[in-house]
Structure 1
């Protein structure tokens, strides 16, 4: 039988993660089936690299149901579709396209950051080398547009499809601009929190906001309905990334699989570090500068960075900012013209993302 049917069988046997809100499970099987069906018919080993990254194959090429993340962006797209009165099945190609764009960026991020492991498995480049992993990432991005073209078959008018394609392309460009800035920050010691948040708006927020805009615009052509969802997505995206930044430093190793301070050991200039850099004494700034230029930052250095973060209140400040963005997201969704069920699901999502531990 075809790969999609094998996947469906595998998914039925897979255990459902218990820590995610129910809304993540509502669409997940359909998203995975849509994604795998896009890859059906492509037989080059190149496409098995994509299937592996998405969790549909194991390292030996056998069918797998390994988790490939939360599917946040595709879930938000389908939530927005239903919240404004649409049938989510019609929007599945757009949801799959969002996952493909997101995962294209992850494959390339892993190459650029030199990360050999993602989601407790070797990364694509760690197995196949960087040149072929670049090819895999590019194929993933092109297949996103292939997926979008399926919207025509689901009854989406050509004029709306063209607008949706333009939005996804513009968002992909913003994502790449954000990655460019993020990489450039590695060589800089003068990054402000404003600089950091501007980078996050491009690299992370843009695709999350796009997911909500895309899900709504495929159903309605009314900016008064779409704009509050876009604003909600913007605030949610900032909260999501800032929570990621907290977990990268203070996350529970038994849940995240990463030791406390793992992002410090990788010398990532995440929001708490940038905040501390801005708000520490000159002596502490010099210490941070020295440590973050050390290619072999080790446990003693990590401990010193944690001390500086604690001294500046970086953790509490970051959590307060997360809560501010969550509150702004709540206000947007309260004002949005969406179904009562949709509003309740969006509110539940805010609460989860603001305190999530993984």
Structure 2
């Protein structure tokens, strides 16, 4: 875990510098402060680091990928701001969320500004060491991910109160909402690094698989982690009646009686600790936690196998470590 923390921290200064430069000329000041607020609050820097690492893994260097990496982080931040507005969440990265500080209208504009600046950053890389054709392909990749993020959020919202969601539908939703941007990060890095079409395809799939595993691990941690590590009450997904892969799997396997009881708990507006415990009994009865753990492990195993297309390098080693980290992290 420490190795991965060091890997992700290795590129943070460069990424933050690119973002700071990009956002420096925003006006008025209120919009600028709202826009840069979350970029200064920290974060894992997983996505932009993957962009740089995949670039390096195919023979490129940090100068090829730094602007695209920063763009990926801006898009991630834009999505967080808008998610917090839609979910009315109070806290993000340990601080009051943007819309709680500046209000919904300014927060929406801040998200839109970050979204636009991201595309500006990708385009500006052409002035450095990336070919026009590569910039065009990178732009298309980033744009596609942005559309998928919106589709995924819409699907997630449509699942609220729908307890007949199937596994295939849920996996498609988390691909779009979470994994698509991670896949875009790895694909963009490969593109600007000068990868072959086969390498680009493999690294996109690597990103897709670890992105799916990342979200499945989030679902898992909500039920098995401790509150201090998780940063929110354990079992909050049950309290909020969220459809996660664990719930989807348990409902599909459960007897009519257990299915009905679990749905009653998920629908409840006053979910008690006893209700959470009962829901966990049903989940454990049908081995749903083990099922999603096995699925996430299979995704990570396949993701690492895809890296065999790359020459041995420190970047390749880092990509392997990050794939393992997705399942070992505790928050």
Shorter-chain TM-score tier:
over 0.9
Equivalent in the alignment of 2:209: 235
CA distance in 2, matches of 1:177, 1:109: 13
Equivalent of 1:353, from 319, 323, 326? 326
Cα deviation, residue 285, structure 1: 1.2
Runs of 4+ that moved beyond 3 A? 17-21
What does the per-residue CA deviation read over 1:110-131, in whole Å, with 9 as the maximum and x for residues that have no partner?
1111211122211111222222
Unaligned runs of 5+ in 1: 1-16, 57-65
Aligned positions of 1:179-328 closer than 5 A: 179-220=153-194, 222-328=196-302
Equivalent of 1:53, from 38, 43, 61? 38
Unaligned runs of 5+ in 2: none
Equivalent in the alignment of 2:12: 28
- What count of residue pairs does the alignment treat as equivalent? 330
What RMSD, in angstroms, separates the aligned Cα atoms of the two structures? 1.7
CA distance in 1, matches of 2:230, 2:93: 9
TM-score scaled by length of structure 2: 0.95
CA distance in 2, matches of 1:264, 1:177: 24
SS at match of 1:207: helix
Equivalent in the alignment of 1:8: none
SS at match of 1:178: helix
Equivalent in the alignment of 1:140: 114
CA distance in 2, matches of 1:33, 1:140: 15
CA distance in 1, matches of 2:154, 2:293: 26
CA distance in 2, matches of 1:246, 1:227: 29
Contact 1:21 1:348 in 2 (8 A): no
The structure showing larger relative contact order (alpha-carbon pairs under 8 Å, at least 6 residues apart) is 2
Is 2:99 the counterpart of 1:115?
Answer: no
Contact 1:239 1:354 in 2 (8 A): yes
Equivalent of 1:150, from 124, 129, 133? 124
TM-score scaled by length of structure 1: 0.88
Cα deviation, residue 19, structure 1: 7.7
CA distance in 2, matches of 1:28, 1:339: 24
